[in-house]
């Protein structure tokens, strides 16, 4: 789920489902795919990104999908999450440590340094991004490269979100919450 306000929410799910809530009703946005969708993030109503199976990335603008991209590779990792700090700084993360970065023009692969699944990402700005994943994986992006951070757990971590670089929360398996 991602939204601009309580009356402007977007929801993604199985078999290409994208729903928009306008404050009173849900409507379906035709995604043109039957692949499962796992994550959604945007900067505003005209720039919403959705990620899913087989490295699928969709771009939505005002309730219609106008761009479908599959990031090429020999493998078909699923993207699990997407987040950014601006239209020119967006990251998609997923299975087997896959990370792609969008600079406003191109999606490029980045070396995460891990092979575990990455389940979520939170981006503060161009030099502060954090991703979490299976086996307690926590990685940090400094604007140039990703590095592994110490983790107090080996449980799978499923979500991350922050307020500042000094206040970041992660949660995961068995109800674990990290700060």
Strands (E), 22-103: 26-28, 37-44, 47-52, 56-61, 64-70, 79-86, 89-94, 99-102
The pLDDT score that the predictor gives to residue 22 is 94
Angle, alpha carbons 106-32-28 (nearest 5°): 110
Q: How confident is the model at residue 77 (pLDDT cuts 50, 70, 90)?
A: confident
pLDDT of residue 72: 61
Q: Quote the CA–CA distance of 60 and 68 in Å, as a whole number.
A: 9
Residue 153 CB neighbour total at 10 angstroms: 16
Q: Is the pLDDT of residue 170 over 60?
A: yes
């Amino acid at each position: 789920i991602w939204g601009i306000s309580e009356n402007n929410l977007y929801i993604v799910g199985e078999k290409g489902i994208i729903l928009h809530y306008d404050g009173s009703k849900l409507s379906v946005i035709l995604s043109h795919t039957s692949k499962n969708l796992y994550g959604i993030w945007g900067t505003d109503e005209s720039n919403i990104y959705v990620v899913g199976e087989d490295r699928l990335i969709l771009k939505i603008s005002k309730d219609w999908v106008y761009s479908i991209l599959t990031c090429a590779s020999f493998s078909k990792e699923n993207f699990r999450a997407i987040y950014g700090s601006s239209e020119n700084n967006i990251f998609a993360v997923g299975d087997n440590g896959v990370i792609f970065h969008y600079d406003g023009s191109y999606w490029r692969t980045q070396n995460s340094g891990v092979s575990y699944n990455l389940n979520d990402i939170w981006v503060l700005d161009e030099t502060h991004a954090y991703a979490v994943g299976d086996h307690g994986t926590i990685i940090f992006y400094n604007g140039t490269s990703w590095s592994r951070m110490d983790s107090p757990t080996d449980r799978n971590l499923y979500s991350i979100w922050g307020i500042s670089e000094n206040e970041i929360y992660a949660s995961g398996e068995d109800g674990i919450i990290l700060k």
